[in-house]
């Protein structure tokens, strides 16, 4: 069974390849994602993010999920040598880390309800488990950033996450925290495969902000593989990426 709903400002698709799936399973996952949106959206006046930015909520007194995100954001900032930062000019916006984390958590909701073969896709960032109904891995395409309707690589994935960062679809929503004047115009897209979508998403964002050296950063991380496309249309991949490409 497959469902798609608009949440968190993007289409979120869940497909479960099981013989019998209760609608309640989908409801539980989407209800969780709705709660995440209400808590973390910087565009909702009542969200905790907005209240923190207005000085109405002390982060130390925020919800448990918010405190988890704050801890993860600081860990990521340190792990990326400052190329990932949820603060910009005094404004707190954790969207760059919340998305992958939320997909991962929604997938755990499904797993706790007995699902073993499924994927959760939020705006192209995906957590996949198990296999398709025919027993083969899930197939995921990497879009051509210059012609988004075309696929440049098709990957066979199971029990992992994948995320792509770039400016070609959403415009300038990623920045270099170490140089706000950096136009990030040397890399068109950065795709990262990780043990889960949370790891893939946060490091894809940081690697994109690093520019051409981002793919080397991904290469240095255990358990992650990457595929970078430059603005002059040249592709660079990590040493183990080819093993993920579908035959």
Residue range 19-35, pLDDT digits in tens: 888 999 999 999 999 99
Helix count and strand count (H, E) for the chain? 6, 12
Structure tokens at 201: 């998403």
Residue range 32-67, pLDDT digits in tens: 999 999 999 999 999 999 999 999 999 999 999 999
pLDDT given at position 169: 60
69-78, 85-94, 181-190: range with lowest mean pLDDT: 181-190
Domain boundaries, the chain: 2-244
Residue range 192-206, pLDDT digits in tens: 999 999 999 999 999
3-class secondary-structure state, position 137: coil
**Mean pLDDT within 85-106:** 94
d(CA 201, CA 161): 8
pTM, entire model:
0.94
- Mean pLDDT (the chain, rounded): 94
pLDDT given at position 177: 77
Residue count of the chain: 247
Q: What's the chain's Rg over C-alpha atoms?
A: 18
**Mean pLDDT within 234-241:** 97
**Mean pLDDT within 72-88:** 95
Fold topology of 2-244: T-fold (3.10.520)
pLDDT given at position 178: 75
d(CA 134, CA 158): 13
pLDDT given at position 175: 67
Residue range 132-148, pLDDT digits in tens: 999 999 999 999 999 98
pLDDT given at position 176: 74
pLDDT given at position 179: 76
**Mean pLDDT within 222-240:** 97
Phi, psi of 158 (to 5 degrees): -155, 145
pLDDT given at position 65: 97
**Mean pLDDT within 181-189:** 83
What percent of the chain clears pLDDT 90, i.e. is strictly above it?
87
86-90, 97-101, 114-118, 126-130: range with lowest mean pLDDT: 86-90
**Mean pLDDT within 98-114:** 97
pLDDT at 168 over 80: no
pLDDT given at position 170: 58
d(CA 120, CA 136): 17
């Amino acid at each position: 069974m497959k469902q798609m709903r608009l949440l968190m400002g993007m289409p979120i698709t869940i497909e479960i390849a099981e013989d019998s799936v209760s609608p309640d399973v989908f409801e539980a996952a989407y209800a969780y994602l709705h709660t995440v949106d209400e808590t973390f959206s910087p565009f909702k006046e009542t969200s905790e993010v907005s209240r923190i930015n207005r000085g109405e909520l002390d982060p130390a007194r925020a919800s448990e999920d918010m405190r988890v995100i704050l801890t993860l954001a600081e860990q990521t900032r340190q792990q990326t040598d400052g190329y990932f930062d949820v603060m910009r000019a005094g404004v707190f916006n954790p969207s760059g880390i919340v998305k992958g984390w939320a997909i991962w958590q929604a997938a755990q909701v499904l797993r706790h309800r007995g699902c073993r073969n499924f994927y959760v896709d939020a705006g192209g960032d995906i957590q996949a488990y198990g296999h398709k109904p025919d027993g083969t891995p899930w197939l995921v395409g990497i879009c051509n950033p210059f012609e988004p309707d075309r696929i440049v690589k098709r990957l066979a994935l199971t029990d992992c996450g994948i995320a792509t960062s770039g400016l070609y679809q959403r415009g300038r929503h990623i920045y270099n925290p170490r140089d706000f004047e950096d136009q990030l115009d040397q890399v068109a897209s950065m795709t990262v495969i990780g043990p889960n979508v949370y790891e893939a998403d946060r490091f894809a964002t940081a690697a994109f902000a690093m520019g051409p050296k981002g793919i080397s950063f991904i290469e240095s991380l255990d358990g992650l593989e990457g595929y970078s496309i430059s603005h002059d249309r040249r592709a660079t991949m990590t040493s183990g990426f080819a093993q993920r490409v579908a035959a």
